Amino acid sequence: MELKDKMVLVTGSTDGVGRVVAERLGAAGARVLVHGRDKGRGKDVVAAIGAKGGKAEFLVADLASLAEVRRLAEAVRAKTDRLDILINNAGVGTGGQVAKRQVSADGYELRFAVNYLAGFLLTSELLPLLKASAPARIVNVASAGQQAIDFDDVMLTHGYSGVRAYCQSKLAQILFTIDLAEQLKGTGVTVNALHPASYMDTTMVRQAGVTPWSSVETGAEAILNLAASPALEGRSGLYFDGQRESRADAQAYDEKARRRLRPLSLELIGQSSKTSREQHS
């Protein structure tokens, strides 16, 4: 995909791998919508992109609030009538071995809410723009750390650990990717997920008490591969480990599990299955 003048939204792009992705997209001529929670850091990224001749704007939102996710989608629609690439990159890490269970503004387990549910809602809200811009791409930045969703205790009220919560939320992203790919057949919009790189040198990794051993540049290359590589034209519903097509946890390919996750997600964001069908039609 030729990136010049393409409109791209990268969530979580004021730090780490998201920032590198945003800056590289800007350098390639894309118009970048930078997202984060901190206005100061957002302005820094926009300035860095502008200093190299790129075009960028900053949109602030805390993805731990579904109301703010909706406001972010509204802000995107106010800025543009098209969206060529959506990169759902923002996330909360494991928090390390001592992570305590936290909840979002809506009362949901925090990692499930930010890492999965926010992207689910944002993507749903922005699908009309993506379809209008087809061929368009959605990239979900997941992880090789995956754990089957416990549908009897999705919010992990029992036996909580930050690692378990993180891995469940990342697998939910991949189930969503495969499910959405089916729904988007024939629209010209593709969606793929990936594990960008292991233990990149990011704030998330360091906060987990892990010594980084991959660079953010390596992860950024993998994300940009899914976002723009001609080899991915028309290919959808895939999971990549870095730049290599791979296989996710078995639950991702369980149609019954995906059929359980979809209505649950719609219920959690306050939408009905009927509303969703209308958006995807």
Residues marked as catalytic = 166
* Structure tokens, 133: 């811009």
- Start-to-end CA distance of the chain, whole Å, equals 25
Q: Which one-letter DSSP state was computed for residue 107?
A: S
CB 154 within 8 A of CB 175: no
In this structure, how many other beta carbons lie within 10 angstroms of the beta carbon of residue 215? 15
* Structure tokens, 204: 């998330």
Phi–psi pair at 138, nearest 5 degrees = -120, 130
CB 268 within 8 A of CB 69: no
CB 249 within 8 A of CB 225: no
Q: In what order do the strands lie in the sheet with 136-141?
A: 55-60, 31-36, 7-10, 85-88, 136-141, 189-195, 239-241, 244-246
- Which H, E and C letters describe 253-271, residue by residue? HCHHHHHHHHHHHHHHCCC
Buried/exposed 63-86: b ≥16 CB within 10 Å, e otherwise: bbbbebbbebbebbeeeeeebbbb
